Amino acid sequence: MNTKKNKITTVPAELPQQVAANDAGDTSLHVSKLSLALDGKNILRDISFSLPAQGMNILIGPSGAGKSTLLRCLNLLHSDWHGELRIMGHDARCWPEGEDELRRSIGLIAQKPALFPCSIQQNIVFGLSRKECSYMPQIRIEKVLKQAALWDEVKNRLHDHAATLSVGQQQRLCIARALMLSPKMLLLDEPTASLDPRSKQFIETSLLELAQNMPVLCVTHDIEQAKRLGGQVIFMCDGHLIESGDSKLFFKYPNRIESREFLRWSVCDCS
């Protein structure tokens, strides 16, 4: 794999906009000086980084660091942020086909599976328009279910209600639902929190396979999971991006004192 493409580049906040724009050409996602305040409180402060065109990226940090909020900003669920966000070279705020189409291009999986009250199959095609549904072959459903490591468990019960699945299966169904829209990248917000080890393993395996074809940004505060998933690491604390880089290096030789504190105690006091 191209090493350049698989390397996260932390863009210093003081870099001029021109540099950031040029850099965005090789990346799938480029964030520059992104800040967000909610109810007068600064949640994200001058976050800058870029994601390569494919590969696993882990966003770690203690609770309240702003990881989930950052994902919501990347998907424009929060839209009142300041800074620059470029996706596939386009300014996210001026996405050619509009905000809704941008969200279809970025699969976002929440921490708790949010399924709609209908069958497994209807959930998978929920994001498609009626026209898309009409010519969507069954083989496509099978493909995304296989990608989400769920096919073997649901192939004979696609018309059962989605609520009959276990929580781990529901989470994989959410991944399949997002994949059905052929996203250009996948954002996951602690997708395995409160899941059993077996379900965790299924999801991690599935994510690693997906990361071979698209950028996957996975939020976790589970350091062991971050080590297993590997790839690149972005470490956040109190709304700041503290450190980023190759996961092996990060876990072995963290540069910043906040990173060392977090890796040792799973907490960080950088406020």
Partner 1 sequence: MRASALISLIVVMLMLWFLVQQSWPYWQHYGLGSFVSGDWYPYESLFGLAAAIIGSFWAALIALAIAIPTGLAAAVMSSEILSGPWRNLIRGSMELLAGIPSVVYGLLGLWLLLPFLQSSLHLLTGHNLLAAGLLLSVMILPTIMVMAQDALSEVSASQRDAAASLGMGWSARLWRILLPQAWPGIRSGILLALGRALGETMAVMLVVGSMDRIPEPFYNLLSPAQTLTSRIGREIGESAFGSMHFSALMACGLLLALVTIAISLLAHMHTDSARAT
The site for partner 1 (CB under 8 A) is made up of 75, 77, 100-105, 107-108, 110, 112, 114-117, 126-127, 174, 177-178, 181
Q: Among candidates 44, 32, 42, which has minimal Cα distance to 84?
A: 32
Which of 127, 230 has the CB closer to partner 1? Answer: 127
We find the least distance from the C-beta atom of residue 18 to partner 1, in angstroms, to be: 31
Q: Among candidates 18, 70, 22, 2, which has minimal Cα distance to 234?
A: 70
Which of 118, 208 has the CB closer to partner 1? Answer: 118
CA 46 from centre of chain: 19
CA 59, CA 144: separation in Å to the nearest integer? Answer: 25
Handedness of CA 142, 169, 100, 81 (dihedral sign): negative
Which of 78-101 are b and which e, b meaning 16 or more Cβ less than 10 Å from the residue's Cβ?
Answer: beebebbbbbbeeebeebeeeeee
Which of 144, 268 has the CB closer to partner 1? Answer: 144
We find the least distance from the C-beta atom of residue 114 to partner 1, in angstroms, to be: 4
Which of 24, 115 has the CB closer to partner 1? Answer: 115
We find the least distance from the C-beta atom of residue 101 to partner 1, in angstroms, to be: 6
Which of 84, 189 has the CB closer to partner 1? Answer: 189
Record the tokens describing residue 163, joined without a space. Answer: 């609520």
We find the least distance from the C-beta atom of residue 203 to partner 1, in angstroms, to be: 17
220, β-bridge pairs: 60
DSSP annotation of 10 reads: -
We find the least distance from the C-beta atom of residue 184 to partner 1, in angstroms, to be: 12
Which of 2-22 are b and which e, b meaning 16 or more Cβ less than 10 Å from the residue's Cβ?
Answer: eeeebbbbbbeeeeeeeebee
We find the least distance from the C-beta atom of residue 104 to partner 1, in angstroms, to be: 3
Which of 194, 205 has the CB closer to partner 1? Answer: 194
44, β-bridge pairs: 36
